């Protein structure tokens, strides 16, 4: 159980982030639901948590902004005195073929997906080191492992998260801090729901298990990595993809 623990989940207004926030809260953690754009979505996540008897608060912050992330972390630490779990989930896509991809689209994806995780880890690391404990979970992607045509920016950001995970894990392991990455495959989110039924069938056929995953599949793994059961696991990249990356 995560009773008494404080967790920050970035990009927790919808999709995988929301499911992770719900899972952590259901296990007893107080969850800081971070969002950038949609306050309404974040408030809905908080409402679901509180309706189920959990504790949560929505806090706006653009994690790609170094100074804003620092202020966000400071605010949370002042109010809750500690953070035990950090889930770097915030992510955006700006898909295009490399020859058509603009510099702005490349930068936007790297800034949120990769620099955002760096910012949050950087600003929380001192607190984690001081308390000699902490769980950092970075949400990467199967695209960061095998690449994906039309997603050079997204794949680069998610591959970068894997490198960041392994490096920070080595730096912080001696202080009792675990740093791991989760690499989801095709998951039933707003993005996949927008696809046609035929497209979904084709995608499912490319997965050894023959089906698209759900956000709860990812959340269950994050919950494990956030708890005591993962105390001797660090620097790992665990795929939740039905075998897609095999």
In 3D space, the residue among 16, 71, 11, 63 whose CA is nearest the CA of residue 38 turns out to be 11
In 3D space, the residue among 132, 175, 163, 183 whose CA is nearest the CA of residue 235 turns out to be 163
Other C-beta atoms closer than 10 Å to the C-beta of 8 total: 28
DSSP string for residues in 167-220: HHHHHHGGGTEEEEEEEE-SB-SHHHHTS-HHHHHHHHHTSTTSS-B-HHHHHH
In 3D space, the residue among 169, 148, 145 whose CA is nearest the CA of residue 159 turns out to be 145
Q: What is the DSSP secondary structure assignment for residue 95, as one 8-state letter?
A: -
Question: 232 catalytic, yes or no?
Answer: no
Active-site position among 35, 80, 154, 232: 154
Does the CA dihedral 223-229-231-235 come out positive or negative? Answer: negative
Range list of β-strands (E), the chain: 6-9, 30-35, 55-60, 85-88, 134-139, 177-184, 237-240
Catalytic residues, by residue number, are: 154
């Amino acid at each position: 159980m995560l009773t008494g623990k404080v967790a920050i989940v970035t990009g927790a207004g919808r999709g995988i982030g929301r499911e992770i926030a719900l899972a952590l809260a259901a296990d007893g953690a107080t969850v800081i639901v971070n969002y950038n754009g949609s306050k309404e979505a974040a408030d809905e996540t908080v409402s679901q948590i509180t309706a189920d008897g959990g504790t949560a608060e929505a806090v706006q912050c653009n994690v790609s902004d170094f100074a804003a992330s620092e202020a966000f972390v400071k605010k949370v630490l002042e109010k809750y005195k500690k953070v035990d779990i950090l889930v770097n989930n915030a992510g955006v896509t700006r898909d295009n073929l490399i020859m058509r991809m603009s510099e702005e689209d490349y930068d936007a994806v790297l800034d949120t997906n990769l620099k955002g995780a760096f910012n949050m880890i950087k600003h929380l690391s001192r607190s984690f080191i001081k308390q000699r404990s902490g769980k950092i979970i970075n949400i990467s992607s199967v695209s960061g492992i095998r690449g994906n045509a039309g997603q050079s920016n997204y794949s680069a950001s998610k591959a970068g998260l894997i490198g960041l995970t392994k490096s920070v894990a080595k730096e912080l392991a001696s202080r009792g801090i675990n740093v791991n990455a989760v690499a989801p495959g095709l998951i039933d989110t707003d993005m996949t729901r927008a696809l046609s039924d035929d497209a979904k069938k084709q995608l499912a056929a490319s997965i050894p298990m023959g089906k698209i995953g759900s956000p709860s599949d990812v959340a269950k793994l994050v919950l494990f990595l956030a708890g005591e059961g993962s105390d001797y696991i660090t620097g790992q990249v665990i795929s939740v993809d039905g075998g897609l990356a095999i």
